[in-house]
Amino acid sequence: MDDDQRRVMYSIDEAFTHVGFGKYQGLVLVYAGLGLFAEATEMMILSFIGQAVKSEWKLSSTQQTLLTSVVFAGLLLGSFFWGFVSDHYGRRHGFLGIALVASVTGLLSAFSPNYLSLVILRGLVGFGLGSGPVFLSWFLEFVPASSRGLWMVVISIFWTLGTISEAALAWIVMPRLNWRWLLALSSVPSFAVLLFHGLSPESPRYLYMKGRSADAQHVLEKLADASLYINVFVTSLAELPGLLFSAVIVDRVGRKVSMTIMSILTFIFLLPLVIIEPVTLTTGLLFAARMFANGTYTVASIYAPEVYPTSIRATGSGIASAVGRIGGMVCPLVAVGLVSDCHQGAAIILLDAVIILSVVCILLFPFETKGQELTDTLVSDSK
């Protein structure tokens, strides 16, 4: 691997680490898990249909055993073949072939007119079932390194769910219907893999390795957007405890002290983000920072109209609010621009510097309005 490829690989790993495990990876988990679920159901059939087929067609023990052996022979060939297809033509092409072969031959095997056709079709089902490594490899390429072990264990649960479901299905179907119904119904998960194939994204790591950087970038942007929605939703919830916290302290310690305390706490929770942290920790820090920042804004919105007399209260508060909007104008040009250019640390330092300046200004305010009556006119000796 040359230096350019190493830099690309590093950038992908960095992107996944920054984004973490979000909604998009959750969809990838479900689709890959569905593939494992389908494989498990078809594999478990071997435990239920052998004796029934033997009795119906008067098979020998060797013939019954061959029904199982041919599936594993198909798995042997399929695991290599679909791995080769996925590595050379794309993960999604591998999924499409796997789903087509497994679903169609799985359903057709339910209509087998004789033993030979059943053996051939079950062998082809086994060939289609060599999908486990493909789905696992694909899912692995979407998971951040920091939590890879955990999520690879989680996805294995789908295999277990598939075996349990197949056992339950056989328990219901076999006494009431027959083995053909069990084969037909067991092909449904493979058809589901085929049905939802259009929703599965190509691996961005694979796309980069094939020189399709623009396509890889598009996948990463969709992944980041999905995670952004979750992060914004979670951090937006912080405004509620921010309001409650400010309500608790504003009349107890005063307006100036309340704004000072919450500004300092905002500074403290933002500071660790100078270094890029795992997404879960980042979301938690942003939640706390937004909570106290919103609390500071709430108290400032109370303090400003209390300072001005009735004759100019609305004008004074309006001017104060308008000045505050300057931050909203400057932030996209400076802080957001820095983050977009991968200078998150510099953006956080800038925000913390503004907070320090704000604290100094708060401490220099000559008025404390806690418990004070509102004034109606300008007076020269206001305190």
Q: What is the mean pLDDT of each run of 10 residues along the chain (383 residues)?
A: 45 57 73 86 79 82 81 83 83 85 90 90 86 78 69 80 86 85 89 84 75 69 59 66 84 88 90 75 82 85 82 78 72 62 75 89 87 70 43
Give Cα 182 distance to the centre of its chain.
35
Q: Given this model, what pLDDT does residue 147 score?
A: 64
CATH code where residue 271 lies: 1.20.1250.20
Same domain, 291 and 353: yes
Which of 223, 253, 279 is the last residue before a domain boundary? Answer: 223
Q: Given this model, what pLDDT does residue 159 score?
A: 83
> Could you tell me the residue range of the domain that residue 26 belongs to?
3-223
Q: Given this model, what pLDDT does residue 5 score?
A: 46
Give Cα 280 distance to the centre of its chain.
11
Q: Given this model, what pLDDT does residue 212 score?
A: 73
Same domain, 307 and 256: yes
Rounded Cα–Cα distance for residues 266 and 348 (Å): 11
> Residue 341 falls within a domain, yes or no?
yes
Q: Which residue has the tokens 């062998």?
A: 123
| DSSP symbol at 312 | G
Same domain, 209 and 251: no
Same domain, 56 and 122: yes
Rounded Cα–Cα distance for residues 141 and 163 (Å): 26
Same domain, 205 and 300: no
> Residue 351 falls within a domain, yes or no?
yes
Q: How many domains does the chain have?
A: 2
The model's pTM: 0.58
User: For 45, phi and psi rounded to 5 degrees?
Assistant: -55, -35
Rounded Cα–Cα distance for residues 276 and 282 (Å): 8
